[in-house]
Amino acid sequence: MTTIYPVVWSNNKVLLIDQTCLPSQYTLVEINRYEDMAKAIKTMIVRGAPAIGVAAGYGMYLGAREINTKERETFLKKLEEVAEILRQTRPTAVNLFWAISRMLKTAYESIGTVEEIKNILLETAQKIQAEDLQTCQDIGKNSLQILPSNLEKLSILTHCNAGALATAGYGTALGVIRSVWAAGRLKRVYADETRPRLQGAKLTAWECVQEKIPVTVISDNMAAHCMQKGLIDMIVVGADRIAANGDAANKIGTYGVAVMAKMHDIPFYVAAPLSTVDFSLENGDLIPIEERDPSELYQIGDTVIYPDGVDYYNPAFDVTPAKLITGIITEQKTVKPGELISLKPELSYH
């Protein structure tokens, strides 16, 4: 198995794979300061909910490292400021807020000198990363229980990139696909191109090619046709934030895929760690949806493709209602959306 780690701690700095350059260039960006980490998250050098959480964990440590005081109270006050800068980067993926609050909680609960707290924060960031890797592998393993028994091999459609690049290194939805492939049960992946940022075409397809997983990229408006033609046996997507009732926010276009899946009677699964569940939100209407710069829509490379005088709307995520979700594959087990609450872990967000 090829290993792809989007965030690496090496020689006292963070290395990020620049996901804005893939697939044409594989570039590593060095991050030494928390403001640069905030910028990298905002500009999507690092993206995907769990990877954003991992990056934010290290961002908190980098911020802590820069605080020049021996006074515990002053240190904690300044660490809150670092947390606030990191929180302002992207609003939808709850893993960002989850990781920041876990880092803050660790700092507040640590006794010892400021230097000792800093060391514990680095260990916690590394723990968040290691746990996510394990979590994704467990999600992959659990997914093998829900594969339809009447099909020897399956074609799975996914939307956006919920792969190694979007996590600590294995993937949620694409982690499921990796596991199904390793188990010899995968026929092919259909990767939605995923307008406007093309994470499916650029990142999911790149990951599949690295591992020689057969992948067909389709433009988003071809998905219904592929379902109608019987090309898709199952759909697996990731999530950026799941409400307590199982409504799931994911990359814009996911909701449409779920509606089409219902129409064609195709199982639609969300694969996500429990750190992506926001148990404080009763339902998906309460999930904040990021709106990004309209240039993502009207510009391809340097070329403007829309005429002057049109208005734009560029929401980055949508919410798939729980009633369209066959099951949520977590690190513990696969549950119906309504049963999610029974899995609330001690370290959940809220």
Q: Which residues bind ligand MRU (CB under 6 A)?
A: 47-50, 93, 160, 162, 166-167, 172, 199, 238-240, 250-251, 316
Comparison of 92 and 326: residue with beta carbon closer to ligand MRU: 92
Q: Which is nearer to ligand MRU, 207 or 233 (CB)?
A: 207
Round to whole Å and give the CA distance between 15 and 17: 7
170, 133 contact by CB (below 8 A): yes
Dihedral of alpha carbons 155, 159, 163, 167, sign: negative
Q: Which residue is nearest to ligand MRU (CB)?
A: 238
Choose, from 220, 240, 278, 318, the residue flagged as catalytic: 240
Complex with ligand MRU: residue 64 or 218, whichever CB lies closer: 218
In sequence order, what are the beta bridge partners of 250? 318
Beta carbon of residue 162, minimum distance to ligand MRU (angstroms, whole number)? 4
Cβ proximity of 322 and 338 under 8 Å: yes
Q: Judge whether 233 counts as a catalytic residue.
A: no
Amino acid, res. 57: G
274, 342 Cβ separation under 8 angstroms: no
As a whole number of angstroms, the distance between CA 10 and CA 30 comes to 10
Judged by beta carbon, residue 167 or residue 326, the one nearer ligand MRU is: 167
CB of residue 237 to ligand MRU, shortest distance in Å: 6
Distance CA 211, CA 165 (A): 13
Site of tokens 């093309």: 198
Is 247 within 8 Å of 284 (Cβ atoms)?
Answer: yes
Helix axes 49-66, 114-143, angle to 10 degrees: 170
- The nearest distance, CB 276 to ligand MRU, in angstroms, is 7
Q: How far is the CB of 235 from ligand MRU (least distance, A)?
A: 13
CB-wise, 75 or 190, nearer to ligand MRU?
190
Q: Rg (Cα) of the chain, in Å, rounded?
A: 20
For the bound state, the minimum distance from the C-beta of residue 40 to ligand MRU, rounded and expressed in Å, comes to 12
Q: Would you please indicate which residues are annotated as catalytic (active-site) residues?
A: 240
